[in-house]
A and B are shown apart, each in its own frame.
Chain A
Amino acid sequence: MVLSTAMKPSKYLFSCRRIHHHHHFPSVMTINANLSSSQSQILSIRESLLSRQVSATQIVESYLTRFSLTEPHLHSFLHFCDDSILKQQAQDLDDKIQKGEENLGPLAGVLVGVKDNICTADMPSTAGSRILQNYRPPFDASVVRRIRELGGIVCTVNPWDLSRVPGGSSGGSAAAVSARQCTVSLGSDTGGSVRQPASFCGVVGFKPTYGRVSRYGLMAYASSLDVIGCFSTSVVDSAILLHAISGHDPLDATSSKRGVPDFTSHISSINIMHSKPLKGLRVGLISETMKDGVDYGVKSAITAAASHLQDLGCIISEVSLPSFSLGLPAYYILASSESSSNLARYDGVRYGNQALSTELNALYEDSRAKGFGSEVKMRILMGAYALSAGYYDAYYKRAQQVRTLIRRSFSAALDNNDILISPAAPSAAYKIGEKKNDPLAMYAGDIMTVNVNLAGLPALVVPCGFVEGGPTVLPVGLQMIGAAFEEDKLLKVGHIFEQTLQGCSFVPPLVATALS
């Protein structure tokens, strides 16, 4: 068949810009002066830039060097699509500093890794998948635009592969932060794909409340569950990054119009803490997350974390969420249903790979057959089935009812507790391919996180301990779940927890070697 380009794209207009103005983010961002740069990479970068100890160019170069040292061992999938783009951003910043412009954005000089299912205008978002090969978005996601406006240097991370499992799909973003290939990074969390990799990689992972951060520019998987989240090596850095990207966006009708508090202002510096900084904080340990099927080592680490919180003054109690086990099937039905719809646009007609075909249906079938991996195809089939006439009530509708139950039971538990805690995953990191032939086991790995997405709540994962595994130990993360839009509370608790945890280094040994 003939492919013609008779309609010249020169007439192509992005007329929407005429109407859609700017993201209504807070225009000024301040950072709590009590925080010390030893607790935050972002703050330490800022300090050294302002004191002119180092230039932004030097910072970027050091990241590039570290990248070349660590990437061959780690395969964190961080890809600097073009070093010159990063160096240019750094140079612009240095020029600004040179001219004496004190008005540096709070993310100045911060290298922000962005998972490449989040659109970036100057870099290809091939999304690692055949169906989007050579695709270059013509716009920045709202969060990316905001990061740039605040001085951040953006690079893309982790080819999001439609042929791969989305659970854990932000692994590259987590690994890149863990390996200090970038300062902080953004991932997406549909069912735990920020929190699980954070737990596996020993970094901080934050999934904000649904609606807190604009999804405009995030390639949708399951629209009612997808949230953009942060990875960092400290809770303070997550707080700074989250604050930068939060707030209502006129381009996302599901983004909340609630005001954004300064997430860092609740975070106190370690030296002004008293002995029981979390005195009276009611913490509920979700009993369903500490039962059979959860690794012994994980349970021990969480129990230890709970007693550490108790030492900090928290009142720990067990809380039962009766609908907890229903979360997994409900999640898989809803996520598959929505993704079967969201992935329909990858049809090869307008962008991405188009199969050669002489007939329309064959064009669709071939483009999609070649473009999607088998796991994604399975999800699309499951989702289409759950939405079909005659099955809708039994699957999709019922799953929505379960979702309401889950929301209610979380809400009740959070009426009696300030935060809830649980493991971030039932086990430490498993090898790639380990669960390939056992999809149910793989899905079961999401049990700790999917309920939180169904309820739309914010959750923070902080490294809390290790389990034995392989040649070395593997990190375990503690998940803290808060009430909707109470990110500040989670960040405060997480920061104190992190700063008071003694004798734990979550820098991977390999990275530590490369760094020294």
Chain B
Amino acid sequence: MRAVALSLRHELIGLAGVVERNVYLTRRYIYWDVAFFVWTVANTLTIVFIAEGIEATGGQIDVERATTTLLIGAVVWAYLGIIFEFLTETVAWERWEGTIEYTFMAPLSRAMHLGGSGVFAVLYGLVRAILLFIVVAAFFGLAFDDANFIAALVVLVVASISFFGIGMMTAVLPLISPEKGAQLGFVAQGMLLVVSGVYYPVDVLPQWMQWLATISPATYALEGIRAAILEGDPLSSMWPQIWPLLVIGAASIPLGLAIFNRGEVYAKRHGKLKRSG
């Protein structure tokens, strides 16, 4: 009993240590984060301007509503990108710095190690996503008279559980392929969003993609956030989005962990962690 409690305590300290390290690193590279944020804002603007562009070329749309719809899609895209990037970097960055072996030989379970990256990624991703939303919304002078931001935020946080689970599956890639693994994370991000109705309703997709949309957590996240911000729906009406997110979350975390553990065994068998020295 005591040993279990002590072991759990060590694990939680380890998890906090991963968060702590990411805080140190973010502090050191803060100017790069600012530069990267500028890029994200520019990128988001290019998408959100599409609404005004359609009207200017004779299309008949509710510009404010279309602008908000696109903005939500772009913010979720950016958020997911940050989560996947951080988790993938759990391995990729440490390999680049050369510390990977020291981390993998520490008595910290992989669940807590990745969990620490996940917690930091969610916190950091939320800050970035909210800032992005505010900056671009202010740029277009969007009003959001009846938006329910709390409900939108809760949906995003719940969805993050699944994003974290899927992120672990992409984090294994640099373990298996030191050279190109990290870039493959982008493939997962793109595939997830294309089926989830990032800038359009899911109904416009071909049937097989719609089927994929039902198992993608991003679909429910986008639906819930749009309902909260565009219609002002309260959290109490979000259950149809929340329960699938919880189910997908409960399935994806153990699956993600199992995949990562298999990747780790593969890496240790074939000497992929590090070779020189």
Partners in one complex: no
